[in-house]
Amino acid sequence: MGRTTDNGARLQRLVIDAGFTCPNRDGTLGRGGCTFCDNNAFHPAYSHPEKSIREQLDDGIAFHRARGRKADGYLAYFQSYSNTYGPAGKLRERYGQALAHPAVKGIVIATRPDCVDEEKLDLIASLPGIVILELGIESCYDRTLARVHRGHTFADTERAVRLAAERGIDTRGHLILGLPGETREMLLGACDRINDLPLTGVKLHQLQILKGTPMALEYEKHPEDFLMPDLTAYIELLAEMIGRFRADLRIDRIAAAVPPRFLAVSPWSGVRPDRIRVLLEKKLAEKGNPIPPSPG
């Protein structure tokens, strides 16, 4: 989706790979990452750690302009892996490079709940311009987090969100709908747990099982453990979850898409996000629920 509106301005996110890794990959917590993860599936061609951050931003701007995507400015989106996983000095230097670009109006920092502490959050709170912290919650249930080898608990999420909120940081949570072992009832119940957190927004998307991942092998052995709704059922699930969320909770994303070559299993693919939004708005109108803010 990639667009954020700020006081009428249209801001395009530019994905940055700043060369960070993850405690679930470097041996601190584990090796190989989460069972669902293949970062290459979400990695645009212009974003590569061998380029400088300035080069990635310049190439990202050219990439979007070539596709006719007009923007009033850009947000540097530190998306790849865990972008607070390092000493504060390193973070300050990487974030500063992005914020020094004349077209960049702010920064989005994606990371894990267990990779932030008070020192890092103080740094993030001090950054100029638009600052958004995205935390990979993924699930509100510890047994699910353990099953997908996430390496943190929901208590880590609660702690990180509250510490960020104390500093006035715009904090948003990422949830995957359909992780193994989770039922529709569990996902609806997760809404209450999210409502209890001082988040400003959530990003939702369907589980996409990627080729070559441990989860693809798990699905082959136990497909019955996976909730894989078709598009109609997914829209119904989204509408019910949104109806349960706090009215002030921003819905930043409602679905995700990766290039088809990466997909091992998907109950539906090739449907554009704007089409999904139209279907969701229709379903919400049928239920008498308000339309959520446009995804950013």
Mean pLDDT of 28-51: 85
Position 96 scores a pLDDT of 98
114: its two tokens? 């267990």
Q: Is residue 108 part of a domain?
A: yes
* 225 occurs within a structural domain: no
- Cα distances (angstroms) measured from residue 124 to each of 89, 94, 108, 273: 12, 12, 10, 30
The residue-averaged pLDDT of 79-105 equals 96
3-state secondary structure at position 18: coil
pTM summary value: 0.93
Q: What is the pLDDT of residue 2?
A: 42
Tell me what pLDDT residue 295 has. Answer: 46
In a domain, 218, yes or no: no
**227 falls within a domain:** no
How many domains does the structure of the chain reveal? Answer: 1
Residue 3 has pLDDT above 60, yes or no: no
Residue 293 confidence (pLDDT):
58
CATH of the domain at 131: 3.20.20.70
137-177 confidence digits (pLDDT tens): 999 999 999 999 999 999 999 999 999 999 999 999 999 99
204-257 confidence digits (pLDDT tens): 999 999 999 999 999 999 999 999 999 999 999 999 999 999 999 999 999 988
Domain annotation covers residue 81: yes
Asked if 182 and 141 count as a contact pair (C-beta separation under 8 A), the reply is yes
Q: How far apart are CA 188 and CA 186, in angstroms?
A: 5
pLDDT computed for residue 8 by the predictor: 62
